[in-house]
């Protein structure tokens, strides 16, 4: 077939797979679907519940409270001048964002198999909608954090918000993308090897303990210098540590940590997209 005639075709369905098949134009065409998915996820989760969206707040509040009692009151972890509850609430909220992004994304193919098996739309819409709807939930949680922030501030706690807080959205974006990338990698592999589903469940739990959620990064270096590298090489730890630095003025800020995290995130996201693209075309045959 001649070249000119070939150009008349809108698109081709074939077994050929490009390494990166990321069609921005098509994703843009389906932007309304993305928004509707976000709306669906946010609106329907707590329908027919009494407390409704309040559940978004109850979860982090009680987790932070528990952490404060166990780690700060019982185990005596020092959080400096910052009230431990506020310290934990910041960590838990940000961690939760990552956690929900990862677990929901990693289930993309399985939970949406019914839709994916019947209709085509760019599959990446689903993980993107998960990241966005969870961002909204995170936003609500951030509001309650701000409320407690003001409360503690008025009661004379020494917390210093720094000008670096302007970069806070960047940190959140980094967290979301890392969750997206990892989630996409896992979701693709789960379609073939179901074992991973169980791994993710408790893997994420373990991950939390090495992500500096309930302790400052410096404390790890002091107390467990031999295995602190686990935390030091964990980009999540830097994100949480940096977020706390921005919001509460506690902990450390390292350019190395940020650049390292950005690089890791980009690599994970890159591989996530490649693997996800490869999987979306045939997963329906294996799922």
Residue of the chain from 2, 24, 25, 44 that contacts another protein (CB under 8 A): 44
For residue 125, which of 179, 171, 184, 68 has the smallest C-alpha distance?
Answer: 184
Contact between 33 and another protein by CB under 8 A: the answer reads: yes
Nearer to another protein, 198 or 256 (CB): 198
Nearer to another protein, 27 or 219 (CB): 27
Contact between 13 and another protein by CB under 8 A: the answer reads: yes
x/- letters, 154..193, toward another protein (CB under 8 A): --------------------------------------xx
Contact between 198 and another protein by CB under 8 A: the answer reads: no
x/- letters, 120..149, toward another protein (CB under 8 A): xx----------------------------
Residue of the chain from 118, 163, 202, 226 that contacts another protein (CB under 8 A): 118
- Judged on CB neighbours under 10 Å (0-12, 13-18, 19+), 242 is buried
Q: What token pair was written down for 206?
A: 């373990």
In angstroms, the CA 248 to CA 49 distance is 34
For another protein, how many residues bind (rule: CB under 8 A)?
37
In angstroms, the CA 243 to CA 90 distance is 8
Contact between 219 and another protein by CB under 8 A: the answer reads: no
Nearer to another protein, 43 or 161 (CB): 43
For residue 162, which of 91, 262, 244, 255 has the smallest C-alpha distance?
Answer: 244
Which listed range, 42-50, 159-167, 228-236, 255-263, lies at the site for another protein (CB under 8 A)? 42-50
Whether the CB-CB separation of 95 and 213 falls below 8 Å is answered with: yes
Contact between 2 and another protein by CB under 8 A: the answer reads: no
In angstroms, the CA 81 to CA 87 distance is 10
Q: How many residues does the chain have?
A: 287
**Maximum pairwise Cα distance, the chain:** 78
Rounded (5°) CA angle 166-178-208: 95
Minimum distance, C-beta of residue 192 to another protein, in the bound complex (Å): 6
Contact between 20 and another protein by CB under 8 A: the answer reads: no
Whether the CB-CB separation of 84 and 68 falls below 8 Å is answered with: yes
Residues that bind another protein (CB under 8 A): 8-16, 29-30, 32-33, 35-37, 40, 43-44, 47-48, 114-121, 192-194, 281-282, 284-286
């Amino acid at each position: 077939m001649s070249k000119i005639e070939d150009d008349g075709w809108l698109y081709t369905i074939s077994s050929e797979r490009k390494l990166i098949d990321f069609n921005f134009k098509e994703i843009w065409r389906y932007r309304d679907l993305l928004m509707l998915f976000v709306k669906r996820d946010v609106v329907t989760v707590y329908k027919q519940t009494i407390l409704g969206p309040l559940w978004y707040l109850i979860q982090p509040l009680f987790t932070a409270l528990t952490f404060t009692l166990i780690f700060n009151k019982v185990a005596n972890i020092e959080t400096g001048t910052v009230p431990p509850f506020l310290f934990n609430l910041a960590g838990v909220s940000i961690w939760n964002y990552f956690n929900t992004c990862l677990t929901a994304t990693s289930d993309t193919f399985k939970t949406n198999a019914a839709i994916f098996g019947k209709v085509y739309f760019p599959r990446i819409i689903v993980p993107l909608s998960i990241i966005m709807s969870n961002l909204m939930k995170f936003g609500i949680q951030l509001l309650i954090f701000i409320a407690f922030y003001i409360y503690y501030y008025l009661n004379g706690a020494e917390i210093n918000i720094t000008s670096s807080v302007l970069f806070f959205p960047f940190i959140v974006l980094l967290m979301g993308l890392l969750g997206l990338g990892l989630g996409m990698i896992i979701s693709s592999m789960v379609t073939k090897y179901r074992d991973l589903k169980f791994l993710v469940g408790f893997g994420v739990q373990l991950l939390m303990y090495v992500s500096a959620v309930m302790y400052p990064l410096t404390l790890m270096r002091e107390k467990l210098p031999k295995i602190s590298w686990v935390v030091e090489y964990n980009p999540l730890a830097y994100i949480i540590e940096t977020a706390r630095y921005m919001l509460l003025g506690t902990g450390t800020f390292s350019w190395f940590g940020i650049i390292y995290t950005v690089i890791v995130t980009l690599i994970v996201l890159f591989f996530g997209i490649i693997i996800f693209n490869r999987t979306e075309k045939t997963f329906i045959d294996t799922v």
